[in-house]
Chains A and B, each alone.
Chain A
Amino acid sequence: MSETPQLKAPISVFLVDDHALFRAGVRTELDSITNEVRVVGEAGSVAEAVAGIARTKPQVVLLDVHMPDGGGAEVLRRARTDLPDVVFLALSVSDAAEDVIAVIRAGARGYVTKTISSKELVRAIARVAEGDAVFSPRLAGFVLDAFADRPGSAPISDPELDLLTPRERDVLRLLARGYAYKEIASELFISVKTVETHVSSVLRKTQLSNRYELSRWASDRRLV
């Protein structure tokens, strides 16, 4: 389909956002700058999204966090059990930690803000499609905050799961500082693959952790 030899077919992407204008913009951008991704459908509401995702079976769903009837977390709850292979990438304008953490905990593979450049968005889509987690610096900050050992925090229910290893913490810190995976790898003298493994395990812990803190921390953060 193109003159550059491609190993894989383009990644199919489904857009979920309640603003038609934003969907149109993302679609145009994604279609124009690369043939790595192909938009197969879009939806403006939770119900539409659930139906559309089930119908088109995309590889990646770009998911808005804030929608009138329940938001991204609701789409995840309803679409994810039937289609475990579809990966979700949250694309949000919201800065509120609880919004972000809600979709991550519901099973999104990453979170990027809407000010992201189109090139980076394509990279992020490609990365989640390969099974990697995508952490923006801000998300890394939120997660670090969630796992922070604050004095007086609730007892840890599952220590194995509920703590980040020092290495994971280091990786997250560098992510929050705006380092790319390659830079993190050379900084910590590990391979990029290892960085990816750490990031994925942080995501898994965030999603699985039943630490009291994780549900509480968002409201804590609002007070700061």
Chain B
Amino acid sequence: MDHVQEKPRTETGMPLPRPPGEGAVVPAAGSALAEVDERPKMYRRRSSRVVAGVASGLADHLGIKVLWVRATFAILAAFGGAGMVAYGLLWVFVPQRRREETEAPATPREKQQAIGLLILGVGLLVAGGAITGAINGWVAVPLALALVGAAVVWREADESQRRRWRDGARSGVAGMVLGGGGWSAAIRILAGVALVITGIGVVVLRSGSLDQVQFALLAVLATLVGVAVLTVPFWLRMGRDLGEERRARIRTEERAEIAAHLHDSVLQTLALIQKQSESPKEVARLARSQERELRGWLYGPSGYGTPEKKGEDRSVAFSQAIANACGEVEDTFAISVSQVVVGEAQLDDRLTALVLAAREAMVNAAKHAGVDEVSVYAEVEPTAVTVFVRDRGKGFDPETVSEDRHGLADSIRGRMERNGGTVRLRTAPGDGTEVQLEMPVKADSGGTR
């Protein structure tokens, strides 16, 4: 028996073992990604895109017309190319939508408009550059080269990313740089190399004729861009792999937690039930308490399936107090108490007294009624909280209750009356008993939520 019980613990109670190096890297890098995960995701469109699906993705994300997004990008392009830069950055950092998700197809009209706006944007960029004098002839060539190179690379990165999703493979460093092989990877590498060469070439060819510092900077810049172009897909992939890894780890831990909980609760109880199988009453008691515990864990206010709420004040509430009282009586007297609570209130002195009185009424029913089921119904109304404790047992004649029975007199009636509540009793021999408890709610506490 011991062996059987211990086995699941070691197998499922711990997260899956993983290489120490990997585990050490993940939390640090994962924390930044976690914040991104909280928000609703923005994706670039896969279909119905003109360049990279950034504008349509942004339009989906913001819930506005794609035309307006594109127009904004085009107009922004006039301001020193800000629109282009923004587009480029979004292209780099926004992942593409997965293939299986459906998207609204673009109309031909929309596509036409998009191309028109694209040309307009480029035109505005050139015009803006010409007016401000930011783009001189000699800068324009390497700059254009760099931009085209970067565009080619990013287009290619999309392709290889698709491949990666399809394969689901965790490629190594070399594989990431090569992007899964193929001649598109070769183009990317060529573009990167071309940029590096351009950077060096600018220095070599044009040195001496113009300001040295400017050229040096330009060369360094081009070289850096070239290096970035060669390695950025690698960095991005590493980031995304880490995110994927982190999600997988969370899932694994969650599974382990569920398994551990089921082991600690359900399996242990089932083992006990097997031992107690000759005593039906004990079996019922164990099963009931286990059911209640598991139910609370699954569906309760702080239960496993409940989404976490931030900033909620979860001090003990009336319904919880009633549920606890019912549970205690169930366990102590091996009867079943079915409880229904309508509405909710915060527990104060009066309601605490009400819960205690209700508990005493349940205990009375459990002891004297000779039944195995008691119903408890509690309702919170704006003016008062009422609790009904009912059994279908023997019942009794209130007139004949002996003086030494203090439960009803002190614990129920006395307690209720001290706090301003009332008790009504419906009972007759053979007809069951119902104790009705009513407690007025203080005007300022608001009653129902």
A137 near B375 (CB under 8 angstroms)?
A: yes
B448 near A150 (CB under 8 angstroms)?
A: yes
Closest chain A CB from B1 CB (angstroms): 23
Stretch at the interface among A18-26, A125-133, A172-180, A190-198: A172-180
Counted as pairs of residues, one from A and one from B, with CB atoms less than 8 Å apart, the total is 59
Contacts A95-B295, A151-B448, A224-B319: A145 and B375 contacting too (C-beta < 8 A)?
A: no
User: Which of B317, B342, B377, B448 is A178 in contact with, Cβ under 8 Å?
Assistant: B377
B299 near A94 (CB under 8 angstroms)?
A: yes
Tell me the nearest residue of chain A to B382, going by C-beta: A151
B449 near A176 (CB under 8 angstroms)?
A: no
Interface size on A, residues (CB 8 A): 21
Closest chain B CB from A181 CB (angstroms): 15
B342 near A145 (CB under 8 angstroms)?
A: yes
Q: Does B41 contact A (CB under 8 A)?
A: no
B312 neighbours in A (Cβ, 8 Å): 223
How many chain B residues sit at the interface, stated as a range, is 20 to 34
A137 neighbours in B (Cβ, 8 Å): 338, 340, 375, 377
Tell me the nearest residue of chain A to B434, going by C-beta: A177
Complex alpha-carbon distance, A140 and B338, angstroms: 13
Complex alpha-carbon distance, A222 and B312, angstroms: 12
B377 near A224 (CB under 8 angstroms)?
A: no
Tell me the nearest residue of chain B to A220, going by C-beta: B449
Q: Does A96 contact B (CB under 8 A)?
A: yes
Stretch at the interface among B105-113, B167-175, B184-192, B301-309: B301-309
Complex alpha-carbon distance, A145 and B340, angstroms: 10
1/0 per residue, CB under 8 A from A, across B412-449: the answer is 00000000000000000000001000000000001011
B382 neighbours in A (Cβ, 8 Å): 151
Q: Does A44 contact B (CB under 8 A)?
A: no
Complex alpha-carbon distance, A138 and B340, angstroms: 6
A176 near B342 (CB under 8 angstroms)?
A: yes
A178 near B341 (CB under 8 angstroms)?
A: no
B305 near A96 (CB under 8 angstroms)?
A: yes
Q: Does B201 contact A (CB under 8 A)?
A: no
Spell out B's residues near A (CB within 8 Å). 291, 295, 298-299, 301, 305-307, 309, 312, 317, 319, 336, 338, 340-344, 375, 377, 379, 382, 388, 390, 434, 446, 448-449
Spell out A's residues near B (CB within 8 Å). 94-96, 115, 137-138, 140-141, 144-145, 148, 150-151, 173, 176-178, 220, 222-224
Q: Told that A144-B379, A177-B340 touch, could you supply 4 new A-B pairs with CB distance under 8 A? A: A176-B377, A176-B379, A220-B449, A222-B307
9 A-B Cβ contacts within 8 A? Answer: A145-B342, A148-B343, A173-B377, A173-B379, A176-B340, A177-B390, A222-B306, A224-B319, A224-B449
